[in-house]
Amino acid sequence: MATTLWPDGQGQQSDTMPNLSAYLERRLGTSVEPTLSSNLSCATTAGGNHIELKQVGTAVIHLYRINAVTISGTVSFSANANEDAMATNARMGCRVVRIADGTTTIASDVVDNTNAGHPDDVELGTASADMTWTATPTSTAFSAGDWLGVIFHADNIGTMAVGTVSLNVGANVNTFVTFTEAITAFSGAAVASLVIPHRHRGLIVR
């Protein structure tokens, strides 16, 4: 059974969050929709690529602590996004990662920046719209308690120019990631904290 994860529009604004898992596990593993909308954005650069979406200047990772599973099937993406001008030459991309239980760094990529984590030959428009695409992941085994993370970013299409890319997440927008596998919220004990160099937000099962 496929699993769709929706980035939550509500999140802690600290780069280090004690009791992170307790916060996330209160919101995850339920069939509720995101209840708050928000916007992530990044400043694009001349000739740039793979620029992570940020909030208050810090890149955002959406996290889900899961039970054991191997992700190997097609991953589908939808991102409600726009660029400030067609001359910006940007499209959306999404990196999917594994963070091992008890660690604070990304252990491996399920979908990396170069592994078709973006739509082919489709540029963002200047009005917010849904951009969809699929990717074939690197088969990755998650142990119970590992974290599944998604990091949205701006990719070039042609030569990127200076500008802005914005992504809408949360309620009433089609920004989500769908996995072929049945993915369930971790059912074991919570960890004390998780500290990585991104702002932390949740992923909601819907």
Q: What is the pLDDT of residue 9?
A: 58
Q: What is the pLDDT of residue 150?
A: 86
Q: What is the pLDDT of residue 115?
A: 65
Residue 27's H or E segment, with its range, is helix 20-27
Print burial letters for 75-105: b (CB count within 10 Å at least 16), e (below 16).
bbbbbbbbbbeeebbbbbbbbbbbbebeeee
Q: What is the pLDDT of residue 114?
A: 77
pTM for this structure?
Answer: 0.82
Q: What is the pLDDT of residue 60?
A: 75
134: tokens are 């699929």
In order along its 206 residues, the chain shows pLDDT tens digits of 888 888 765 544 333 333 333 333 333 333 334 444 568 899 999 999 999 888 767 777 777 888 999 999 999 999 999 999 999 999 999 999 998 887 777 899 999 987 656 777 899 999 999 999 999 999 999 999 888 888 889 999 999 999 999 998 876 788 889 999 999 888 876 654 454 444 445 554 44
Whether the CB-CB separation of 202 and 66 falls below 8 Å is answered with no
Whether the CB-CB separation of 96 and 137 falls below 8 Å is answered with yes
Q: Where are the domains of the chain?
A: 3-205
Q: What is the pLDDT of residue 201?
A: 52
Strands (E), the chain: 3-11, 16-18, 38-44, 51-52, 54-55, 58-65, 69-71, 75-83, 90-99, 108-111, 129-135, 140-142, 147-156, 163-169, 176-179, 193-195, 199-205
Report the CATH number of the 3-205 domain: 2.60.120
d(CA 101, CA 96): 16
Which residue has tokens 């919101």? 27
